[in-house]
Structure 1
Amino acid sequence: MNLPDVIIAIAAGIPLTVLVACCAFVVGAVLALPLAFALRSPRRLVSWPVRALVDLLRSVPILVWLFILYFGVSIDRFHFDPLPAAVLALGVVAASYLAEVYRTALESVAAGQDEAARSLGLSRVDRFRFVVAPQAFRVALPSISTFSLTLLKDSSIPSVIGVTEIAFQTTAISRTAGSGLTGYVVAVALYLLLSLPVAFVARRADRQLRAQVSA
């Protein structure tokens, strides 16, 4: 198999790579918000169990969670297909990491900001939406961007259960066509091409947010 054919075959895994990474990020970003609030709760009956859950999710390798969902969760005739199992496993683990990012960012906002907004008569929702959240987002953005790149690379893990993304395609081509190192070099190039736009957008957004703060 010549190089163009190898590139085309491996590039066929790009859509699922992007789909898994994006869906897992959305799942993680949404689930992380209530976890972050729970971690900041002054009530130990709330914060301690959530802290234990977050630490557990972060301590166990993603591959183990993936196997638990795909091979271990079976209720009557229900069984996870590879793609939903991949998204859920990566998404739940992502939530545990992003929860810490959110918590740190929220705690970085000075308490006086919320008190000033309260004195203006803003509701709790409006205080969070217009005062706390924008400032916390500026702090969290670099960490969120870095994690999104990590998640993109971790999207290769579901190849072990048959999700036909880049890593799966690379292994299949290397075994059947004997492309050897060539296939893996192509895979590296494709991951790099996918990562660069994410890094560019993240840096651009960070610069714009810094400019708004200094203005």
Structure 2
Amino acid sequence: MTFDTALYILAGLPTTIALTGLALLFGAIVGFPLMLAAQSTFAPVRLLTVGIISFVRSVPPILWLFLIFFGLGSGLITLSAFWAAVVAFGLIAAVNMAEIYRGGMVAIHHGQYEAATALNFSTYRLYRDILIPQMLRVSIPSAATYAIGLMKDSAIASTIGVAELAFRGNQISLQTYRGLEVYAVVGLLYILLSLPIAALSREAERHLRAKVSR
């Protein structure tokens, strides 16, 4: 593999990082109110939210990508391939993060709620000081695992022309007929991207565990 070829593949790295980061950020923000709605005591809201989460998770990511890019992006809204991918993966990330948050919330002992009620905590203080820190601590390992999976799934965006790592690797492979070498390099780059995510999740979990224990 030549130096120019390696640089061409590496040029897709910012796109992969941006696509993964934006989709995960959207999912992390939207997933929380989705989780709250899925646990609502108002049955219609709860059932509707649970139905939406189940529906979105049941449809393959590549189909959402095609629906948004070739559906919305071809008539109703003008979307580039990159932003169509961000919307598609952000939608998927939102419902998956909602489930991750729900798992973290369920793991909190019910006695925490009773203690907060006995101390006359407001709902805001209950979530800010007790529930959210513990929920995040429990959720971080699962969220990090999902972030790594989301980064790998971002390769699907190459099917609509997003010039990320897999797209550029495929182009070089078609031009040089050296698929094994090229895809090995692309795979190595995905591994190198995964390592910092795992390390950051461990550090964040350690920090939150220390904060909760104080």
- Counterpart in 2 of 1:61? 60
Output the CA distance in 1 between the equivalents of 2:65 and 2:13: 20
- Name the amino acid aligned to 2:133: P
Residue 214 of structure 1 deviates from its aligned partner by 5.8
Amino acid at match of 1:64: L
Partner of 1:177: 176
Corresponding residue for residue 44 of structure 1? 43
> What are the superposed Cα offsets for residues 63-108 of structure 1, whole Å, 9 maximum, x if unpaired?
0000000001158563321111100100110111111111121122
**Secondary structure of the structure 2 residue equivalent to 1:156:** helix
Partner Cα distance (1:195, 1:78) in 2: 33
Distance of 2:19 and 2:6 partners within structure 1 = 21
1:170 aligned partner, one-letter code: G
Distance 2:200 2:75 in 1: 45
Instruction: Return 185-194 or 73-82, whichever deviates more.
Output: 73-82
Determine if contact 2:73/2:80 at 8 Å carries over to the other structure.
no
Shift of 1:125: 1.0
Alignment of 1:154-169 (within 5 A): 154-169=153-168
Q: Distance in 1 between matches of 2:212 and 2:69?
A: 46
Partner of 2:128: 129
1 CA distance for matches of 2:96 and 2:147?
A: 11
The answer (yes or no) to whether the contact 1:70–1:79 under 8 Å persists in 2 is no
In structure 2, the partner of 1:27 is 26
Q: Structure 2: 5+ residue runs without aligned partners?
A: none
Deviations 1:42-79 (A, max 9, x none): 22201111111101111110000000000011585633
Deviates more, 1:82-91 or 1:120-129: 120-129
Aligned counterparts of 1:11 and 1:50: Cα–Cα separation in 2: 40
Post-superposition offset of 1:3:
3.5
Work out whether residues 73 and 84 of structure 2, in 8 Å CA contact, stay in contact via their aligned partners in 1: no
User: Any conservation in 2 of the 1:6–1:183 contact (CA below 8 Å)?
Assistant: no
d(CA) in 1 for partners of 2:132 and 2:76?
Answer: 43
- Shifted more, 17-26 versus 67-76: the winner is 67-76
The runs of 5 or more residues in structure 1 that have no matched partner are none
Moved more, 108-117 or 26-35: 108-117
Q: Give 2:99's aligned residue.
A: 100
Q: Residue 80 of structure 1: SS of its match in structure 2?
A: coil
Identity %: 39
Matched residue SS, 2:163: coil
Residues in 1 aligned to 2:73 and 2:18: alpha-carbon distance in whole angstroms: 24
Runs of 4+ in 1 over 6 A off after TM superposition: none
The CA distance in 1 between the partners of 2:81 and 2:74, in whole Å, is 16
Per-residue displacement from partner, 1:110-159 (whole Å, max 9, x unpaired)? 23323322333432112101111111111111111110111111111111
Question: SS where residue 41 of structure 2 aligns?
Answer: coil
Closer, same or farther in 2 for the Cα pair 1:77/1:35, shift >3 Å? closer
> Would you say the 8 A contact 2:133–2:212 is kept in 1?
no
Is 1:139 equivalent to 2:135 in the alignment? no
Deviates more, 1:104-113 or 1:18-27: 104-113
Looking at structure 2, the residues matched to 77 and 93 of structure 1 have their Cα atoms a distance apart, in angstroms, of 21
TM-score (ref. length: structure 1): 0.92
Match for residue 151 of structure 1?
150
